Amino acid sequence: MTNRKTIDPNSAEFPRGMDLLLDPQLTKGTAFTEAERDTFGLRGLLPPHVASQREHQMRILENFRKKPTNLEKYIFLMAVRDRHQDLFYRVIIDNLEEMMPIIYTPTVGQACQVYGHIFRRPRGIYISAQDKGRVTEILDNWPHKDVRIIVVTDGERILGLGDLGTNGMGIPVGKLSLYTACAGIEPTQCLPVTIDTGTENDELLYDPLYLGLHQRRLRGKEYDALIEEFIASVQSTYPRAVIQFEDFANSNAFRLLHEYRHRARVFNDDIQGTAAVTGAGLLSAMRLTQSELREQTLLFLGAGEAGIGIADLIVSAMVHQGLSAEEARLRCWFFDSRGLVVKSRTDLADHKLAYAHEAEESEHFLDAIKLLKPTAIIGVSGQPRKFTQEVVEAMAAINDKPIIFALSNPTSRSECTAKQAYEWSEGRAVFASGSPFLPVTVGNKTFLPGQANNVYIFPGVGLGIIASGARHVTDEMFLAAAETLAQMVSADDLDYGRLFPSLTRIREVSASIAVAVAEIAYEQALATEERPANLRKYIESLMYDPQYRLYIK
Q: What is the DSSP string of 68-95?
A: SSHHHHHHHHHHHHHH-HHHHHHHHHHT
- Cβ neighbours around 33 below 10 Å, total: 16
Rounded Cα gap, residues 23 and 81, in angstroms: 11
Rounded Cα gap, residues 519 and 512, in angstroms: 11
Amino acid in the structure at residue 107: T
Of 74, 89, 104, 548, the catalytic one is 104
Contact yes or no for 355/311 (Cβ under 8 A): yes
Rounded Cα gap, residues 243 and 268, in angstroms: 9
Secondary structure of residue 300 in the 3-state scheme: strand
Q: Helices (DSSP H) in 104-143: which residue ranges?
A: 107-113, 115-118, 135-140
Rounded Cα gap, residues 50 and 326, in angstroms: 66
Paired strand residues for 149: 190, 242
The pairing of strands 450-451 and 430-433 is parallel
Phi-psi region of 349 (alpha: psi -120 to 50; beta: other; left: phi over 0): beta
Of 77, 67, 82, 120, nearest in space to 102 by CA: 77
User: What radius of gyration do the chain's Cα atoms show?
Assistant: 24
Contact yes or no for 431/378 (Cβ under 8 A): no
Of 410, 408, 379, nearest in space to 104 by CA: 410
The 3-class SS string of 185-250 reads CCHHHEEEEEEECCCCCHHHHCCCCCCCCCCCCCCHHHHHHHHHHHHHHHHHHCCCCEEEECCCCH
Of 345, 358, 274, nearest in space to 311 by CA: 274
Of 28, 73, 175, 401, the catalytic one is 175
Asked if 401 is an active-site residue, the reply is no
- Cβ neighbours around 526 below 10 Å, total: 19
Q: Which residues of 311-343 are buried (b: 16+ CB within 10 A; e: fewer)?
A: bbbbbbbbbeeebeeeebbebbbbbbeebbbbe
Rounded Cα gap, residues 457 and 271, in angstroms: 12
Cis peptide before 106 (omega within 30 of 0): yes
Rounded Cα gap, residues 253 and 48, in angstroms: 55
- Cβ neighbours around 11 below 10 Å, total: 7
Amino acid in the structure at residue 551: Y
Rounded Cα gap, residues 126 and 230, in angstroms: 11
Contact yes or no for 302/336 (Cβ under 8 A): yes
Asked if 355 is an active-site residue, the reply is no
- Residues annotated catalytic, as ranges: 104, 175
